[in-house]
Structure 1
Amino acid sequence: MAQFAKSTFSHASYAAFRPSYPSSLYNTVLAYHHGPRSRCVDLGCGHGVVARYLSGSFSQVIGTDPSDGMIEQAQTSTSRAEYPNVTFRKSAAENLAFLEDESVDLVVAGQAAHWFDQTKLWPEMKRILRKGGTLAFWGYKDHVFVDYPKATKVLDEWCYGDNALGPYWTQPGRSIVQNKLRDLQPPFSDWDDVQRTEYEPGTEGPRSGEGTMFLNKRIKLGESMAYVRTWSAFSAWQDKFQKKMRDGSREGDIVDDMFEEMRSAEPDWRRDGEWKEKEVEVEWGSGLLLARRKYK
């Protein structure tokens, strides 16, 4: 998560272009949850979107993040008048010393759990959650242009190729996301009723994938480019090469090159003069992990 903590990272762009989570995902989590709804903790809260949503279901919601920039963005985006029961504080997920033992009813992490140190995480989750309390972690991988298999193939090659963004992903975090969080294994001795919900998009049109879809969006190609520039791998690439995004006379970057190759692969993208305004349907592969702290 070090890239998100750097002063050069655009926390505002992250908030603007990352996908939002649908009510169906939250409803799945809340339907699984049993018992009190006094306190919810959102780990790796980023700009606070999850904390704000869950504020309507819990008496108190605390968002934590190790990045000063993310905490500032979350606080700026969260009106105290509208969300009086939501607070944010800088903290790592593995060390929540400000929370009392067994004082949390629900702990969540949206697109953050792959960053956590599991050797330290699971003991801390056991400590803060009450018996019977709920843990809900979810994450998503790269977006798929569901009507454009050739563009999707190009995107994958640029994401993970050795001469593209591949070397700039932080591991094992990225592999955990790609594997839909299956590598996150709650210790059997402390957790039960473990459930997983997954989705793998297809390229034969919307909802042509397998599993339960939570994340999809109709997006302009220019917005898709902005989204790719919120990736930690792009931030790491940019730190190394210090190239500016293309704007008139300014030099292009790896995302410009990536999308130029996509345009070459997809005829109707090439023909469109205002191609950045072209809207396409995208879906994200995702994984949701639910677990309940044992009563013993």
Structure 2
Amino acid sequence: MSHSTENTFRQFDQGKANVYAQVRRDYQPSVYETIVNQHTSTGGQLDTLIDVGCGPGMVLRTLAPNFNHAIGLDASEGMIAAARSANFVTGSSEPVRFEVGTAEELTRDLPHVVQDASVDLITVANAAHWFDMPKFWQSAARVLKPGGSVAVWTSGEIRVHPSVPNAAAIEAAMYRLEEHYLTPYRHAGNKLVRNGYVDLPLPWTLTPPVNEFDESTFLRRVWDPKEEFFTGQREVDLDTFEKMMGTGSAVVRWREAHPHDVGTERDVVKMQRREIERLLHEGGVKKGEERVRGAVQGVVLVVKKRA
């Protein structure tokens, strides 16, 4: 699958980045524990962490206290501005550093920030599908210490939790609406997410391969939709549902192409909401009590640089 450059979130200003941070969920402790345990059990150290595609810094809020030094990189100046305003710190009480930078170059354009072969762990949360992965793996091999790790994860396709009344009908209706309206606004990266990173290029699947990484220690851990991949995976009202769905890249691109429909009954998310309301009522939910709960099949990949 070809690489598709991400320009939607890259163009966010700080205001949009703050809204994104408010409605996006953090990941369950089990996600972070899986990453740190796999990294340390295979000899990884906890000195320097880089989170790539860090957005407003959510991952570093949780992971940075495990490390002495932590850096967040994102191609969006708006995302970095939002992250800097959060004032996260590391386990050594050092402020987390946030810089505008790309996955393909990592810190080559920021030599004052970190040196080659000095990073213990690189994390990438719901962003690798926008990277030029051959270039990313080459850069990761350059900046990681021997025995360092790369942890990449995605939440996959959002499903309707079976506990929601009329869940099967709601999921089918959302699928139809998304296929009809959003298909032209999905990039190759969106497809990688929907299939759980099955086709995400890995160092040993490239031509030529990036031989610094060890396939024998590769970990792929899947969270079943019945497990919770995000914190706060509870029922939400439909106002919150609209805000959350509005942060999806395909929805953002649809809205950019249909500015006069945004917020009206012709808005793609508003149409989803109305259909969900109708089907909840059909399932016995009273007006004013409409709530939904999502489920995802999360996937974590951990790749190790040879010691």
- What is the TM-score of this pair, normalised by structure 1? 0.86
Counterparts of 1:279 and 1:19, CA distance in 2: 17
Counterpart secondary structure, 1:238: helix
Counterpart for residue 220 of structure 1: 237
Q: 1:36 to 1:81 in 2, by over 3 A?
A: closer
Counterpart for residue 150 of structure 1: 169
Q: 1:54 to 1:170 in 2, by over 3 A?
A: same
Contact 1:215 1:283 in 2 (8 A): no
Post-superposition CA distance 1:243-267 (Å, at most 9, x none): 3543xxx665111112212223333
* Percentage of identical aligned residues: 27
Counterparts of 1:185 and 1:7, CA distance in 2: 27
Counterpart secondary structure, 1:107: strand
- Structure 1: gaps (5+ residues): 202-206
Aligned pairs for 1:23-172 within 5 A: 23-34=29-40, 35-79=44-88, 84-96=94-106, 97=108, 98=110, 99-147=114-162, 148-159=167-178, 161=179, 163-171=180-188
2:241 maps to 1:230: no
Contact 1:141 1:177 in 2 (8 A): yes
Counterparts of 2:138 and 2:80, CA distance in 1: 25
Contact 1:243 1:251 in 2 (8 A): no
Counterpart secondary structure, 2:154: strand
The alignment of Structure 1 onto Structure 2 pairs a total of residues equal to 278
Counterpart secondary structure, 1:77: coil
Q: 1:166 to 1:41 in 2, by over 3 A?
A: same
Counterparts of 1:69 and 1:2, CA distance in 2: 13
What is the CA RMSD across the aligned residues, in angstroms? 2.3
- What is the TM-score of this pair, normalised by structure 2? 0.83
